[in-house]
């Protein structure tokens, strides 16, 4: 099995027994589904309001969490303590959102795990992905989760081989403190080691990106005088 880069300093207790460092995307399957299926019908520790919308069953929200007007949250979902859900955010069914995470205005989270302190704060799409502790997504960052041909997602390796995931939908696995710049697009099957910085506008193909590195977009800008 191809070794993956260093990703997470700590795995939240509900997932520890099921976590496999060689295949971290496995948490998005049975472990996540079973955890959400076992939630009570309602375990909401904050005042509800007609200004935001809770849809479906098995919704757990921890104390101190703030949900802004216009947000939509679908069950089953587990949202920890002191989470911030900003205006217009859409948390789709099947998510686990750790303590102190941030889901920003008009961001959409779909079947994902956000470890404590992770942030998708501005116009983000996070599909079938895992965000490590204190990950920060720049405005407009998209974690794409589905191939156009519908085939299973396989992670490209440096030697030209592929690491199968057995998943038709898989976005990105981002280690702790990974940061993306504005308008980054990560294609299905991206794994990024912890504390790596991805510069604005980068488009990452499926692959494994090392920990504690910088991923840059190199472009050429030409400026010419207008004619006429």
d(CA 188, CA 167): 10
With contact defined as beta carbons under 8 Å apart, do 178 and 138 qualify? no
At 129, list the tokens. 């992905």
The angle at the Cα of 28, spanning 22 to 33, to the nearest 5 degrees, equals: 135
122 is catalytic: yes
Q: Sign of the CA dihedral 100, 140, 124, 156?
A: negative
With contact defined as beta carbons under 8 Å apart, do 172 and 154 qualify? no
**Full DSSP string of 140-208:** T-EE--B-TT-PPEEEE-TTS-EEEEEESB--EEE-TT-EE-TT-EE-SSEEE-TT-EE-TT-EEPSEE
- Which one of 53, 111, 122, 148 is the catalytic residue? 122
Active site residues: 122
């Amino acid at each position: 099995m191809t070794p993956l880069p260093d990703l997470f300093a700590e795995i939240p207790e509900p997932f520890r027994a099921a976590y496999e460092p060689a295949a971290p995307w496995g948490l998005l399957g049975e472990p996540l589904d079973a955890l959400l299926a076992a939630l009570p019908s309602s375990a909401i520790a904050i005042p509800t309001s007609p200004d935001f919308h809770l849809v479906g069953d098995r919704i757990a929200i921890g104390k101190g969490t703030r949900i802004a007007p216009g947000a939509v949250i679908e069950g089953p979902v587990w949202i920890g303590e002191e989470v911030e859900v900003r205006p217009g955010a859409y948390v789709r069914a099947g998510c686990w959102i750790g303590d102190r995470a941030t889901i920003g205005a008009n961001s959409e989270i779909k079947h994902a795990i956000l470890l404590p302190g992770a942030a998708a704060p501005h116009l983000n799409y996070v599909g079938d992905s895992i965000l490590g502790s204190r990950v920060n997504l720049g405005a407009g960052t998209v974690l794409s989760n589905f191939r156009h041909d519908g085939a299973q997602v396989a992670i490209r390796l440096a030697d030209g081989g592929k690491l199968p995931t057995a998943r038709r939908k898989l976005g990105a696995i981002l280690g702790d403190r990974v940061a993306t710049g504005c308008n980054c697009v990560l294609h299905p099957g991206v794994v990024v080691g912890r504390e790596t910085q991805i510069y604005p506008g980068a488009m990452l193909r499926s692959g494994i990106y090392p920990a504690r590195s910088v991923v840059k977009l190199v472009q050429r800008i030409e400026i010419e005088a207008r004619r006429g």
